[in-house]
Amino acid sequence: MVNQVRNIVIIGASAAGHTLANELIPTLPEGYRILLIDALEYSFFPIAALRAAVVPGWEERIVLPLKTSTCFPSDSIHQVIAPNRVIKLKENLVVLEKPFEGTTEVRFYKAIIATGSTQPSPMRPSLEWNMKDYLDALKKSQQEIKQAESLVVVGGGTVGVEFAGEVRALYPDKQITIIHNRSTLLTPLTESSPSGNLNEKIPESYTSPPTHLKLANSLTNLVKGHTNLILNDKVIIPQPDEPSTESNWNGSFGLQPSLVTIRTESGKSVKADYVFLSVGNKPNSGLVRVTDPSAVEGKTGLIKVDEYLKVKSTIPGGENYYAIGDVSNAPGVKTSYIATVQAKSAAVNLINEIKNKPLIAYSPGTFGGLFVPFGPELGAASITLPYLGTWTVGSGMVRSMKGRKLLLDRWGGLWKGEEKVEILV
């Protein structure tokens, strides 16, 4: 039976990869098998990772075992291959780190790269960690934050704002300072120039996606009532070879051995015993880069795809690879919602290829939104609706749509296996 099936290989059990598998389960013709490959033995929910790094008990809510019995129905031929890594892409096959069905080479009909993005812990675990290692790291983070008295957050993008909000909600008496290099939090599409005109275009970047100016202003006004904000300034990060004293920050992040001084380019100084580096996602596109460097954008690291989400590659067999989610340069903000939209589009085209039907161009749609919670109860969001434009909403909608549950209830809908998983919402 195994020798007769044609494999659909999905590299990465991310939101995009897991959603794609679910979309294919009821539609794949007989004779095709899904192989969902991931480097980790467990799945984690990055949307709630910052809360899990701050609030005790939340670490148990964001991890689940990743295996065939939790992902696929009992009567299917589909399989999860985890923990295992794809170490090389070839024409019509991938090479695994560890053997599967007696070989490290897995042939496929089509392969979809859904490897997502990388971030430092606690946002995402190290690929070397098992589930216990990740849970222990989150618990350690919780203890260190509890111990700290004065925290500095370097960077006021969505990650920095959400981290500060989680700490403020649990520990309202701690001193929290956010230092950001813009005139508002986030990265607004336009900012006021020195003359006051809204004519300065902010270049789009992957790690800090452009946001609507109204949202940036709304969130800034909210956050400055609960934290210290230093805007239009940058933290001076000491180099490893620079001499340091006990009272000056040495450039390390996390809990400091004592109260240290953080300095900015404008000459300001802030005392802190905990430093959080707020960094955006970096595409996990190394597999494609070493195979075909021309298929990866040099500036962003995103995999180049065409209008059908197929990888733009000139190497033999390149036309049999797709890329979706955070790792792809397809249009749309890098959010979990857009990742699922891409997964559904790729599923349609995979079935169309099997049935020799025309492919359908991907579209992110006209609906869009960015919800930025500041703890469970506060936050701001922008919502773009067809014909109505972009609207900014406040804490009430953010609290009900995302802030309190952080979409954990929706994560539960991904798990279709015979072995039921328990989502602690």
Last residue of a domain, one of 319, 341, 364: 364
Provide the 10 A C-beta neighbour count for residue 29: 9
Q: Domain check: are 92 and 168 in the same one?
A: no
| Torsion angle (degrees, nearest 10) of CA 372, 378, 380, 381 | 60
Tell me the pLDDT tens digit for each residue of 284-314. Answer: 999 999 999 999 999 899 999 999 999 999 8
Residue 210 has pLDDT above 80, yes or no: no
- Residue 195 pLDDT > 80, yes or no? no
CA–CA gap between residue 186 and residue 93 (Å, rounded): 41
pTM, rounded to two decimals: 0.91
| 317: Cβ contacts below 8 Å, ≥ 6 apart | 90, 91, 92
pLDDT band at residue 193 using 50, 70 and 90 as cut-offs: very low
In a domain? residue 58: no
**pLDDT value at position 202?**
36
**Within this chain, do residues 158 and 268 fall inside the same structural domain, yes or no?**
yes
Q: Are residues 357 and 244 in the same domain?
A: no
Q: Which residue has the tokens 């939104």?
A: 369
Q: Tell me, what amino acid is at 97?
A: E
Q: Is residue 18 part of a domain?
A: yes
Question: Which range (19-33, 180-194, 331-345, 362-376) has the least confidence?
Answer: 180-194
Tell me, rounded to whole angstroms, the distance of Cα 151 from its chain centroid. Answer: 24
Are 243 and 256 in a shared domain?
yes
75 in a domain, yes or no? no
Range of the domain at 154: 150-279
* 203/224 same-domain check: yes
Q: Are residues 249 and 355 in the same domain?
A: no
- Whole-angstrom CA distances from 39 to 81, 96, 97, 208 are 9, 10, 10, 26
**Is residue 33 situated within a structural domain?**
yes
The predicted structure's pLDDT at residue 3: 59
The domain boundary, picked from 341, 364, 387, lies at: 364
Same domain, 176 and 263: yes
- If asked whether residues 168 and 236 sit together in one domain, one would say yes
Q: Do residues 156 and 273 both lie within one domain? A: yes
Sign, Cα dihedral of 231, 368, 340, 303: negative
* CATH code for the domain in which residue 355 is found: 3.50.50.60
What is the per-residue pLDDT across 14-27, written as a single tens digit (0 to 9) for each? 999 999 999 999 99
Q: Is 421 a member of any domain?
A: no
For residue 405, tell me if it sits in a domain: no
Matching residue, tokens 């001084």: 261
CB atoms within 10 A of CB 418: 13
As for how many domains the chain has, the answer is 2
Domain boundary among 342, 364, 386: 364
Please tell me whether residues 17 and 92 are part of one structural domain.
Answer: yes
**pLDDT tens per residue, range 41-87:** 999 999 999 999 999 999 999 999 999 999 999 989 999 999 999 99
Query: Is there a domain that residue 130 lies in?
Result: no
The reply to whether 154 and 274 lie within a common domain is yes
Please name the amino acid found at residue 82. Answer: A
Between residues 293 and 280, which one has the greater pLDDT? 293
Residue 184 pLDDT grade (very low, low, confident, very high; cuts 50, 70, 90): very high
- Examine the domain organization and report whether 301 and 323 are in the same domain: yes
- The answer to whether position 110 is within a domain reads yes
